[in-house]
Chain A
Amino acid sequence: MAIINQATKELQVKIVYYGPAMGGKTTNLVQVHDHVQTAQGNKGKLVSLATSSDRTLFFDFLPIEAMTIKGFKTKFQLYTVPGQVIYNTTRQLVLRGCDGIVFVADSQYEKMPENVESFQNMLDNLTSLKLNIADIPYVLQYNKRDLPNAAPVEYMEFLLNNREVQVPSFTATGHKCEGVFETLNMITRLLLHKFINQSQSHGAPQPA
């Protein structure tokens, strides 16, 4: 879970991009890396452990420092998981200690079964780590909206966002960087709210 370091007034947060294979998880990170506006030195290298065919083998990793929020350094670590079914053990490893999840769904009609299977796999893996989806902020991103065979958003909402509590969802065209930052800022918002609520429920005093 997030590291809160009072000595350096620093909050470190781990966000995992989850979803079916070739759905655009790595593309999200690449776009963030290429387009984010940060102070010099606040953006780390994008590390990608991928196969020669551009499929993520272990994970992609992008450390990035957000603009300082009220004197607080907030460091984000963005990870992707490999989407291929066989890499489930790796997905469990990457999910460990995650604070928030972006589920990147592929909007193409024929990918709907994979979207649903991947979402269920995410729930199963969280359970295996003794985590509950109800406790972890997550958002949905319906990627590849520019493709002609994209399913209607309402249909994807019915398939993936039909739980008791509906979460924010965004349409995106990852390779054009459309919807990428909106998604990231929303998961950031949910995370900050969660930390604030936890902090207040613990009755933390004001720092000196």
Chain B
Amino acid sequence: MATLPQLIEEDIQKLNEILKEFLSQTDATTALIIDKGGFLITHQGRSSEFDLTTIGALASGAFMANQTIAGLVNEPNFSSIHQQGENFSIFCCNVDEQVLMVIIFRCHVGVVKYFVATAIKKVAAQLEAARQRAPGEGIDLSVLNVANTEDVFRKKDQ
């Protein structure tokens, strides 16, 4: 399975710009980029009232479950799912093999669907650029070389 590339500051900045532009075009509330394993990569828009980490995990699970259903009805791909609510709606769409875009919005879904097509192309292009970058151009994780990991997670009473 291909993996998500290491993302440097420039990647995150560009992804954030794409999301900001999308939000201004659609008047949507919040836009997230997540990977299909459930990780939140970045987001723009209102975030304080939402638990975006959990939304990312659940949205990826729901999307991937729908992909599996698609396979069961011999449909090669459901590219998006839309859940309409009274206050907020959620639209989740495929970006590439690894990544999804999730939009929380109050506005009309038609506007979201129209502008998201351009946004996901830009997001996919930025991720591809990150993928093409030399693999060494990332963080040196040797800073994490801790001799003892017993203290990484500690019980309260210890």
Bound pair: A and B? yes
Residues of B within 8 A of A64 (CB): 153
A189 closest partner in B (C-beta): B149
Partner of A192, one of B35, B39, B137, B144: B144
| A185 near B153: Cβ-Cβ < 8 Å | yes
Q: Which residues of A contact B144 (CB under 8 A)?
A: 11, 69-70, 72, 74, 192, 195-196
User: Of the candidates B53, B68, B145, B152, which one forms a contact with A66 in the assembled complex, judged by CB atoms under 8 Å apart?
Assistant: B152
The secondary-structure label for the interface of chain B is loop
B: contact size bracket: 35 or more
Distance A77 CA – B61 CA, assembled complex (angstroms)? 14
- Within 8 Å by CB of A47, from B4, B57, B136, B137, lies B57
**Contact status A37-B156, CB under 8 Å:** yes
Is B154 within 8 A of A12, CB to CB?
no
Chain B residues closer than 8 Å to A186, beta-carbon distance: 149
Once the chains bind, are B155 and A37 in contact (CB under 8 Å)? yes
**Contact status of A77 and B38, CB under 8 A, knowing A7-B11, A11-B141, A186-B149:** yes
Chain A binding site: helix, strand, loop or mixed by DSSP? mixed
Most chain A C-beta atoms within 10 Å of own C-beta, residue among B68, B135, B138, B157: B138
For A96, list chain B residues within 8 Å (CB): 1, 36-37, 64
Q: Does A204 contact B (CB under 8 A)?
A: yes
- Complex interface: chain A residues within 8 A of B1 (CB): 1, 96-97, 129-131
User: What is B's interface to A at a CB cutoff of 8 Å?
Assistant: 1, 3-4, 6-9, 11-13, 35-41, 51, 53-54, 57-58, 61, 64-65, 68, 135-146, 149-158
Closest 10 CB pairs of A and B: A97-B37, A199-B141, A189-B149, A7-B12, A1-B3, A7-B9, A204-B140, A6-B8, A37-B154, A63-B53
Interface pairs (29), CB distance under 8 Å: A1-B1, A6-B139, A7-B12, A12-B40, A36-B154, A36-B156, A37-B153, A37-B156, A37-B158, A44-B53, A69-B144, A74-B144, A77-B39, A77-B57, A89-B68, A93-B64, A96-B1, A96-B36, A97-B35, A97-B37, A181-B153, A181-B154, A184-B153, A185-B152, A188-B152, A188-B153, A192-B145, A202-B136, A204-B140
